[in-house]
Every structure is written in structure tokens, then in C-alpha cells.
Amino acid sequence: MSTIRESQPKRAKAPSADELLAVLRDRIANHDLTPGSKLRERDLVEEFEAPRARIREVLGALAERGLIERIPNRGAIVARLDLDQAFDLFDIRQVLEALSARLATEKQAPESWQDLVELFGEPTEAIVEAGDLEEYIKRLGVLRKRMIEGAENPILEELLNGLYDRTRVLIQRLVMLPGRARQGLAQHQRTLAAMRRGDATEAERLQRENIRSARDSFQQYHKFVL
């Protein structure tokens, strides 16, 4: 009599390099992996059941973005962002994010921003007043994504995404500062209003002002933020 072999559960497919990169970027940005934490190839191979070559590819991509350091005989560790680097990143963001606002305003129809004008009106004012900063940060991500996509400039998008990787944890912590969420929301509302009018010059100026304001808050509270 033939026997029926019990079917073995299918092994989950190992994540792609892009999927692994996204997971590790989020862990670093959210401080699940804190500065100085070690990233061991063997541990990552076991956790994700991915080939060692793929893990090395992802670690190389993280190093290129400045998120980890690869130290001879020590392996990879999560990079620390020092005070001078943080100020340098804010200075670059002022220029590039302002450019993104200008290009997005120039290239997209004014009415295309109406949904964001409405989203960042009473609905977002309500969640900020309620202290739901997690949801507020998500909405900032939506605004950032739309603005970058609207600029229709792949090189600018690549640069801004790299900056965002290195400053995401600072952005999240800045939002937690007293009064910063309300101040930032008012600034975003003004920028969106300019974009809705099709005023690219004003949108650029306001976005630069917004980042400069965030830099000032960081300068005042950098010991907490870092």
C-alpha cells in the first residue's frame, strides 16, 4: 500500500534586497537599532533566511546612505549623527526641499493640491490638538512624498530620499518638542496655500522658512533630539 507523505509547509520566500533595505532603514530611523548597534551578517542571514551575498549587498547600500559604518575587524555598526553633521543636513534640506516645492508647484496643476490643503486644515489641526503625533508624522510623509513626486526630478528625489534616511529620527523627535507640531502645521498650511495658488516663488520661500525654523528648534533642543 502506498503511503501518503505529509505535505511539508512551504518555506517563506526570502525577502528581496529592496525589501531588506526598507526593513533595516525603518529600524534605524525608528531607533529600533540605535546608534552604535552592531549589524552582524550571520544574525541577519538567520533572521531573514536570505543569502549572505544579499545581506552584504544591503549592508553596502546602507553604508552608501550613511546609515551604517563598516569598520575593519568589527563589522557594521549603526552610524552616529553628530551635531555638526545634523546642522549640515538641515542646511542642505533648506535648499533641496525648497527647490522641490518650487518644481512641484510649477509642474502640477494648482487644483491638484486641493486635497492636501483640506487634509492639513481642520482634520490635521484636530489630530495635533489631540496629541496624535504618530498620525501627524504619517501625514507629513504623505505631503513629502507628493511634493517630491510632483517635482518630477529623479535626481532630486534620490538626493532627498537619502537625506530623509539620515534625518528621519530627528524629524520625529522635533515634532515632539513643545509647540513644534502646531508651529510646523501652520507653516505647512501656508506652503500648501501658495502651491494651491500656483505661486512657485512663494512656495519655495515658505518651504525654506519651514526648514530653517526646524533647524532653529533643533539648535535649541539638540541635546534632547540627538
pLDDT of residue 115 exceeding 90, the answer is yes
pLDDT of residue 219 exceeding 60, the answer is yes
The structure's pTM equals 0.80
Percent of the chain with pLDDT over 90: 68
φ, ψ (nearest 5 deg) of residue 78: -65, 130
What pLDDT, in 10s, does the model give residues 81-105?
Answer: 889 999 999 999 999 999 999 999 9
Map out the domains of the chain with their CATH numbers. Answer: 17-78 (1.10.10.10), 83-225 (1.20.120.530)
What pLDDT, in 10s, does the model give residues 133-178?
Answer: 999 999 999 999 999 999 999 999 999 988 888 888 888 889 989 8
Residue 4 CB partners (closer than 8 Å, separation 6+): none
Burial class of residue 105 (count of CB atoms within 10 Å of its CB; 0-12, 13-18, 19+): buried
Give the Cα separation of 174 and 39 in Å (integer): 27
Residue 104 is which amino acid? A
What pLDDT, in 10s, does the model give residues 177-200?
Answer: 989 999 999 999 999 999 999 999
> CA-CA distances (angstroms) from residue 167 to 86, 101, 116, 133, 161?
8, 19, 23, 17, 10
DSSP code of residue 113: G
DSSP code of residue 66: T
